[in-house]
Amino acid sequence: MLSEKLNQARENWEKDVVAKSLDKVPERRTTFTTSSDIPLQSIYLPEQGEEQNYLEKLGFPGQYPYTRGVQPTMYRSRFWTMRQYAGYATAEESNARYHLLLQQGARGLSVAFDLPTQIGYDADDPMALGEVGKVGVSISSILDMERLFEGIPLDKVSTSMTINAPATVLLALYIAVGKRQGVAPEKLRGTVQNDILKEYIARGTYIFPPRPSMRLITDLFDYCARNVPKWNTISISGYHIREAGSTAVQEVAFTLANGIAYVQAAIDAGLQVDEFGSQLSFFFNAHNNFLEEVAKFRAARRLWASIMRDRFGATNPRAMPMRFHTQTGGSTLTAQQPANNVVRVALQALAAVLGGTQSLHTNSMDEALALPTEHAVQVALRTQQIIAYESGVADTVDPLAGSYLIETLTDEIEARALDYIQRIDELGGAMAAIEQGFVNQEINDAAYAHLKAVEEQSQIIVGVNKFSTDEGSDEDKIELLRVDPAIEQAQHEKLAQLRAERDADKALELMGRIETAARGSENLMPLFVEAVENNVTLGEICRVLRDVFGEYRPNISI
């Protein structure tokens, strides 16, 4: 029996939140039972006498503090977006993979770019030699971007682009392709990662120093708030922090500390938190410690809501919830016994779903060895679909809520992450903590401790330090995807043709205008869109910005 107070709170929630969310036709059924025909409620609440702190710390889904989810009905109305991170070789080959994924039931696209694209070089730049199309798709111009999305209506799909230092240019290319398709910018939906701080911490695909990089980020915030309102302007990423060796607590703490820095930079640039806050999104990792991962997502969501409300004064209910994408842990995949990775990915994906993710990418079993094959990608996508359609975990909101262990872990992760954030504040904020080496040292210490535990076998990795088999056994011989090195020359030829056929004077004029604007304070995004529409390339724009902003060189000590 529920207490009178909790009953009243539930009635208010159903009237004020749930009813307003049901103006859209649910994509799923409206009644839910187990296989034994036991009815399932939308949410479960503590019985009378057990509700102490419930409303303060958990509340209802779709309401502050969002511990139980950012939508009132979560997956009962609509499953998470099933994305598969893909991109390799040329735009044409990646386009074929995207069409395959959409045919197999993927609900959104997620673009992987090659290293030259990630650090702002065209495919024919000497710096790109040997790397074109190797770890993602090669994109140098609007022609590449058009080919990448050929036959894919951009007003019908949601696209996530994992790009950071040149994120403004890649978004400009996407907007320009949308226009060529007849899709107005205000109809585009998706996310651009655009998280440069974690590049200095963990990943390394930076171009410019931190301060001009932050200017590009806030330019994108401002432009999208006015012109591309359905676009997530940043995906503040804990994923790569975790891949670098952090703990779950550090992943939450350092990601949210970076988020604080971005929000403050936007406010300092004159933007309103209630306006741009709804376009912020996050990107987390899912690792193998199942219950800790579920609690991690719940803790991060609650902590971010309090940061936005209490620290930055957000009052818009759309500006406080943490919406996030999850990818299963690449660093947990093993080259030994790669079929075991299917099980790891399933556990990690289930943790993300039970933690309330908004979209999910499941890694393929062969990714410790090479880019994934079509077969491996299909198995990864089917993993999500089995969780969604067969497991029953999506039939009620936050099904693990109230577990003594889950709530204890949620509280503990929140408290420890908050302690880190306070230490970072004392150092002067995320950028200062990065510049002083604090964040990197904490991650390095955690990574070393994990490696030592694996070597000492106090941490078991199945198939690696226990239950191993002979190297080269038949089960380890799986098909691998190979990227044809001839694509590099093909990309060179396409760029040569583009430069020969474009209006060279117009391209030079636009590069000059970009240089002038970069030396001032004008928002660069409109110029980037105009430039790419006139066949100015990614590398040419980034070269102009390098000349103005300089390049970042980390302090390295041995």
User: Is residue 291 one of the residues assigned to a domain?
Assistant: yes
Q: Do residues 217 and 258 make contact, with C-beta atoms less than 8 angstroms apart?
A: no
Averaged pLDDT, 359-382: 94
What's the longest Cα–Cα distance across the chain? 77
Q: Do residues 274 and 319 make contact, with C-beta atoms less than 8 angstroms apart?
A: yes
Eight-state DSSP code of residue 333: -
pLDDT-based confidence at 1, cuts 50/70/90? low
Rg (CA), the chain: 24
**How far, in Å, CA of 10 to CA of 251, rounded?**
33
User: Is residue 396 one of the residues assigned to a domain?
Assistant: yes
SS3 label, residue 375: helix
pLDDT tens digits, residue range 518-528?
Answer: 999 999 999 99
Tell me the percentage of the chain whose pLDDT exceeds 70.
96
Q: How many structural domains is the chain composed of?
A: 1
Residue 263 has what pLDDT? 97
Residue 471 has what pLDDT? 59
User: Is residue 29 one of the residues assigned to a domain?
Assistant: no
Eight-state DSSP code of residue 47: P
Asked if the model's pLDDT at residue 209 lies above 90, the reply is: yes
Q: Do residues 302 and 344 make contact, with C-beta atoms less than 8 angstroms apart?
A: no
Supply the pTM of this predicted model.
0.89
Averaged pLDDT, 192-209: 95
Asked if the model's pLDDT at residue 74 lies above 50, the reply is: yes
Averaged pLDDT, 333-357: 97
Compute φ and ψ for 424, nearest 5 degrees.
-65, -40
Averaged pLDDT, 340-361: 98
Asked if the model's pLDDT at residue 30 lies above 90, the reply is: no
Asked if the model's pLDDT at residue 144 lies above 80, the reply is: yes
pLDDT-based confidence at 37, cuts 50/70/90? confident
Q: Which domain holds residue 348?
A: 74-455
User: Is residue 555 one of the residues assigned to a domain?
Assistant: no
89: left (phi over 0), alpha (psi -120 to 50) or beta: left
User: Is residue 297 one of the residues assigned to a domain?
Assistant: yes
pLDDT-based confidence at 516, cuts 50/70/90? very high
SS3 label, residue 112: strand
**How far, in Å, CA of 105 to CA of 222, rounded?**
34
**How far, in Å, CA of 192 to CA of 233, rounded?**
6
Averaged pLDDT, 194-221: 95
Residue 474 has what pLDDT? 46
**How far, in Å, CA of 346 to CA of 365, rounded?**
11
Averaged pLDDT, 270-292: 95
Averaged pLDDT, 216-223: 96
User: Is residue 478 one of the residues assigned to a domain?
Assistant: no
User: What is the average pLDDT score of the chain?
Assistant: 92
Cβ-based neighbour number of residue 183 at 10 Å: 16
Sign of CA dihedral 35, 38, 39, 45: negative
**How far, in Å, CA of 83 to CA of 100, rounded?**
12
Averaged pLDDT, 64-79: 95
Asked if the model's pLDDT at residue 116 lies above 90, the reply is: yes
User: Is residue 503 one of the residues assigned to a domain?
Assistant: no
The tokens describing 36, both together, are 């034994």
CATH code of the domain covering residue 413: 3.20.20.240
Nearest to 58, CA basis, from 350, 298, 412: 298
Asked if the model's pLDDT at residue 472 lies above 60, the reply is: no
Residue 31 has what pLDDT? 81
**Residue 328 β-bridge partners:** 286
Eight-state DSSP code of residue 26: P
Tell me the percentage of the chain whose pLDDT exceeds 90.
79
**How far, in Å, CA of 203 to CA of 282, rounded?**
16
Burial (Cβ within 10 Å: 0-12, 13-18, ≥19) of residue 189: middle
Residue 182 has what pLDDT? 97
User: Is residue 466 one of the residues assigned to a domain?
Assistant: no
**How far, in Å, CA of 489 to CA of 141, rounded?**
16
Eight-state DSSP code of residue 519: H
